[in-house]
A = this chain, B = another copy of it.
Amino acid sequence: MPMPGRRLASVAVRHEGQVYLFDCGEGTQVPYKELHVGLRALRVVMVTHLHADHCLGLPGLLMLRAQMPDPGPLRIVGPPGLARFVDHVRRDLSMYINYELVFHEWSASTGPEAHRDELVRVVWRPLDHTTFCLGYRLEEHDRPGRFDAAAAEALEVPRGPLWGALQRGETVQTPAGEEVTPQQVLGPPRRGRRVAFVTDTRETPAIGALCEGVDLAFLESMFLEEHVDEARAKKHMTASQAARAAAEARAARLVLVHLSPRYEARDLDRFAAEAGTHHPAVQVARDGEVIALPLPDAAEAVVPPLETH
């Protein structure tokens, strides 16, 4: 539940001027505004499950977005019943929404993709919680390989628009009439960044699939190890369990979210300590924290790196 000084877990991924939001518990619209995350930019909201602390802030955020003229459609993905929940609140409270809500609910036949656009794809997997719950993995599309300027010059492709066309994957013709293919001047595609958002769940193989090789994993850790039995009974994880899962999946960084309100602020370091024995790069999420996620090979990029906010 939202606490004085500790908000509910929600993560906004900002990428190329678009925003992808994971979960939206009560009060999420306040830090959303405070951090200037961007309302028109909000493109997809992904809800893990139909418990209040993960979606009760959604109606307020939708209304906030309706404060601007013509903000454009919004895609909302999540478990079966999500559209019904929003629709009930919308009608019961006469909500004003001046844009289209496009719902996409998981079902056994929807396949592994929750969302795909020109920038990213998002995959989802059922987790193991007290109610049907989805974990997410957001993958930036792989980028073209590095451009080999020396090779292009050797092939007599003049610097300028033709270089751009090759970088976009198009075959071009040199002034001398020779065809040059992208493969001749581009290195192998470079993988996009990957982020996982996994809450609420107990240990389950789906976590490994979602977190495999990600740059950043947000994993729930409701409890400390001393409450491992309660974690099992309530279908949550301890900090250690989350860290082991992240380590096994070779997630580069781990951020612990969804800590039980029973723990005081002074206990939070223990989460990082317990998890730290299993994973080398752990932190406990803090309200309003901004985490930059550089390109994996940013230092070597020939083209300017993508804006990472």
Contacts and interface: CB of A to CB of B under 8 A. Distances in A.
A137 B239 CA distance: 50
A183 interface: no
Contact of A92 (B3, B26, B50): B50
Interface residues of A, number: 32
A55 interface: yes
Given A52-B63, A88-B92, A4 B30 contact: yes
A284 to B, nearest CB: 20
A59 B58 CA distance: 13
Contacts of A93: 50-52, 55-56, 85
A115 to B, nearest CB: 22
A94 interface: yes
Contacts of A51: 93-94
A27 B2 contact: yes
Given A84-B92, A85-B93, A92-B85, A30 B56 contact: no
B52 A1 contact: no
A63 B1 contact: yes
B52 A59 contact: yes
Interface string A1-26: 11110000000000000000000001
Number of copies: 2
Interface string A37-69: 000000000000011100111011001100100
A89 interface: yes
B94 A50 contact: yes
A164 interface: no
A63 B52 CA distance: 9
B60 A1 contact: yes
B34 A4 contact: yes
Interface string A93-112: 11100000000000000000
A95 B26 CA distance: 14
A26 B52 CA distance: 12
Nearest to A7: B30
A27 B60 CA distance: 10
A1 B27 CA distance: 10
A19 B223 CA distance: 33
A153 B60 CA distance: 64
A113 to B, nearest CB: 25
Given A2-B27, A85-B92, 6 more contacts: A4-B31, A27-B27, A52-B63, A81-B92, A84-B92, A88-B88
26 contacts: A1-B63, A2-B27, A2-B29, A2-B60, A3-B30, A3-B33, A4-B31, A26-B27, A26-B56, A26-B57, A26-B60, A27-B27, A27-B30, A50-B93, A51-B94, A52-B63, A52-B95, A55-B93, A56-B56, A56-B60, A56-B93, A84-B92, A85-B89, A85-B92, A89-B89, A94-B131
Closest CB pairs A-B (n = 7): A85-B92, A88-B88, A4-B34, A27-B27, A26-B60, A52-B93, A2-B30
